[in-house]
Structure 1
């Protein structure tokens, strides 16, 4: 456990550059939102709604945070990958440290953006009547959970593709990118065909989540009037979890058995 903690600290140090770059970009967007709010001429309400909108945009951008972090991370260690591979820890724990470091930085960045949006919303709500049926904090919690789900899924997919690319680079050299493009295109084509044939719908559209659950988390005045809510299925999450487990297992296997000499 001590060795894994040391590896996690090393990953955090390695990822600090990516975090600082993303944080600087985020602070720049925040400053732009405040500047435009000050320059706005349509009243105090619009000023703070603008800041809230900028904050919400930053929050949504965190869906891509983990993938972007991982991209910068692996690019930074492209010349020291062989040293990383000499770590005696099993591959699954090494990949877990890399993912966790990204999630830690993502959480810190997300909290900063959330505080910015929250302050703007609190002041905005003082001058605008918010319907009682709009549960902002429940909706924010629901969206945050979805963002982490998508971020972890995309992060694992990225790690798998990165390791596959490393494997092909050690086998076919400069042709590895062509092999990857052909492979990804084939997978996308197969998924489109399976969707058109209804296979994916059959496999994932089971266990419909009760409408009362969806209303509780994302209820709005519009939904209350129209009765329409987003439809989701437990099967979607089970399928997503299985895909993540399979790709993570394959990634660990590649590291343990195929990349030692690459």
Structure 2
């Protein structure tokens, strides 16, 4: 536990640069939104009064890819010291887990700033007309949970691809940039075919939530689709397999290139 705590603190220090860079980007856009809002007040118009809310929503949406970007920056930063990280006595799952936990912490802090800004922006809009049956905070909670789910999924997929890239690079060098993209394209084409054949629907589209439950979470006036338990179960299974695969490959196949 002491070794993992030390690794955790090291990940916090390493990830702080990317966090503050993105936070600075957020603050610049937020300041621009505030300036536009007060300019609209001075001009007596309403054209820019929703700009703070719009900028806030855009910043919140960018957090779908926050963990992905965090891991990319993290991998670049550790490129020259990768051999030290690889020789860490801790198992790979704990090292990868530390990266994910720290990434989620920084994501939460950044998202909290964007959320507060968006909330303030929503209060400054003169006239707001919501669709019938929409409960703002309930809907926001569901959407935020979905954002974290997608961000985590994207982050784990990147982590798996990064592990594969390191393994291939250690064996064939720069040719990895030919083989890996081709492999990703072939995998995407395979998934498209499986979708066309109905195989993905068979595994994913089961356990549809009753309309009463679905409408409670996301009102029909806001969301017209179906919510399947199978989607979440299969996504969770895929994430678990990719994370376990990344950990096993790092422990048994990955070498310093």
Query: Does the pair score TM above 0.5?
Result: yes
Q: Which residue of 2 aligns with 1:216?
A: 216
Contact 1:204–1:239, Cα closer than 8 Å, also in 2? yes
Matching of residue 100 in structure 1 with residue 97 in structure 2: no
Q: Which residue of 1 aligns with 2:151?
A: 151
What SS class does the counterpart of residue 206 from structure 2 fall into? coil
Q: Which residue of 1 aligns with 2:127?
A: 128
The 1-side partners of 2:145 and 2:48 are apart by 29
Q: Which residue of 2 aligns with 1:235?
A: 230
- TM-score normalized by structure 1? 0.92
Q: Which residue of 1 aligns with 2:85?
A: 84
In structure 2, relative to structure 1, the CA distance for the partners of 1:129 and 1:167 (3 Å cut) is: closer
| RMSD of equivalent CA atoms | 1.8
The 2-side partners of 1:218 and 1:205 are apart by 18
Q: How does 1:152-191 map to 2 (within 5 A)?
A: 152-191=152-191
Contact 1:157–1:247, Cα closer than 8 Å, also in 2? yes
The 1-side partners of 2:210 and 2:47 are apart by 37
Contact 1:63–1:147, Cα closer than 8 Å, also in 2? yes
Matching of residue 65 in structure 1 with residue 60 in structure 2: no
Contact 1:214–1:229, Cα closer than 8 Å, also in 2? no
Q: Which residue of 1 aligns with 2:25?
A: 25
- For structure 1, the 5+ residue unaligned runs are none
Q: Which residue of 2 aligns with 1:52?
A: 53
Matching of residue 2 in structure 1 with residue 9 in structure 2: no
Residue 256 of structure 1 and its aligned partner are, at CA, apart by 0.5
The 2-side partners of 1:49 and 1:214 are apart by 30
The 2-side partners of 1:47 and 1:134 are apart by 25
The 2-side partners of 1:95 and 1:208 are apart by 33
In structure 2, relative to structure 1, the CA distance for the partners of 1:260 and 1:231 (3 Å cut) is: same
Q: 1:246 aligns with which of 241, 244, 247?
A: 241
1:48-97 CA distance string (max 9 Å, x none): 42211111111111001000010001001101111001111111000000
1:77-124 CA distance string (max 9 Å, x none): 101111001111111000000000100000000000000011111232
Contact 1:45–1:128, Cα closer than 8 Å, also in 2? no
- TM-score normalized by structure 2? 0.93
Q: Which residue of 2 aligns with 1:113?
A: 114
The 2-side partners of 1:129 and 1:64 are apart by 29
| Large movers: runs of 4+ above 6 Å | none
Kindly tell me the number of residue pairs found equivalent between the two proteins: 255
Residue 45 of structure 1 and its aligned partner are, at CA, apart by 5.5
What SS class does the counterpart of residue 89 from structure 1 fall into? coil
